[in-house]
Amino acid sequence: MKRLLIILLLISTTLVAKDYALIVAISKYKSSNIPSLNTKKDIQHYESILKKMNFKGSQWHLNDEEATKFNILKDIKNISQVIKKDDRFFMFFTGHGTDYQDGDFGSKIQETLPEKYFLNTGMLLPYDFNPKKSGIADSIIIGKRDLRKYFTAIDKKTDRAFIVFDACFSENSSKGEPKSNITRFLYIDTYNKTYPYKNIVYIGASKTQARSGKLSTVLDGCIGKNTSFLDLKSCMNDKLKKSPHKAIVLSGSDEPMVFGS
């Protein structure tokens, strides 16, 4: 009987869905050449969103000097390895972003990276980003090169994943190679004519520069425990209709499981 109880306990434990959250917030960078940001309110908004989504599970915070490229990718990789069906994954990044058209770093990116790594993909600046020409290639986080493999693994294991990149040029940070002649916000085509993830809901702050603190405020105001994906997009459209910085919302499904779950 004792052995049977142990077996039943193990079975029930493995069947319980888990939540994983990674909040990356960078207000001050290692390089003095990178402008500081006020991410305190962003963190509060993203924690509020987790609470509204009835988050229960493991939560990791990487703030400022903790938010190195190594640490960010390590945590994402670790989650991609342990996450299972029906588990939920939340990731929020608030900090600086860039791409090859950026007036500050675009020319250096084009000179130091192969075209396949910078064309039509977003890039995030970790705490230890090196703005010098000799350091950009190795210190930057590139959606296509560094993130897509882990997000693809997560996407295959669960249908409950929500990723938000609150950064400039974040439209393409989660993936790569979208076409330019499409309607943003509703759907984004990629080179294989489909958004690369079946289940991940991805929200990026802007195609170009983004206003710091805007996206987290809008999301917190639009997301509730039983918010549908379509309601979220409608609410964001309404709150951002007068803003020059239009956020984008992507999903391979009309009603992703992460909302209202």
Enumerate the domain spans of the chain: 17-250
Residue 9 has pLDDT above 70, yes or no: no
Six-digit token pair at 239? 């709150």
Q: In what order do the strands lie in the sheet with 123-124?
A: 97-98, 123-124, 141-142
Mean pLDDT of the chain: 81
Nearest to 67 by CA among 58, 76, 80: 76
Phi, psi of 203, deg, nearest 5: -125, 125
Six-digit token pair at 105? 């770093």
Q: Which residue has the tokens 């493995």?
A: 14
Task: Report the alpha-carbon distance of residue 201 to residue 18 in Å, rounded.
Answer: 18
Give mean pLDDT, residues 39-53: 94
Q: What per-residue confidence (pLDDT) applies to 105?
A: 85
CA–CA distances in Å: residue 94 to residues 5, 39, 163, 199: 46, 7, 11, 22
Per residue in 73-110, pLDDT tens?
Answer: 999 999 999 999 999 999 999 999 888 888 888 899 89
Which fold, 17-250? Rossmann fold (3.40.50)
Q: What per-residue confidence (pLDDT) applies to 184?
A: 34
Per residue in 169-201, pLDDT tens?
Answer: 665 554 443 334 333 333 222 333 456 788 888
Give mean pLDDT, residues 133-162: 93
Question: Considering just the CA atoms, what is the radius of gyration of the chain in Å?
Answer: 18
Give mean pLDDT, residues 44-55: 94
Predicted TM-score (pTM) of the model is: 0.84
Question: Which residues make Cβ contacts (< 8 Å) with residue 14, sequence separation at least 6?
Answer: none
**Cβ(45)–Cβ(115) below 8 Å:** no
**Cβ(29)–Cβ(66) below 8 Å:** no
Give mean pLDDT, residues 190-214: 64
How many Cβ atoms are within 10 Å of 10's Cβ, its own excluded?
10
How many Cβ atoms are within 10 Å of 198's Cβ, its own excluded?
15
Give mean pLDDT, residues 131-147: 91
Residue 20 has pLDDT above 70, yes or no: yes
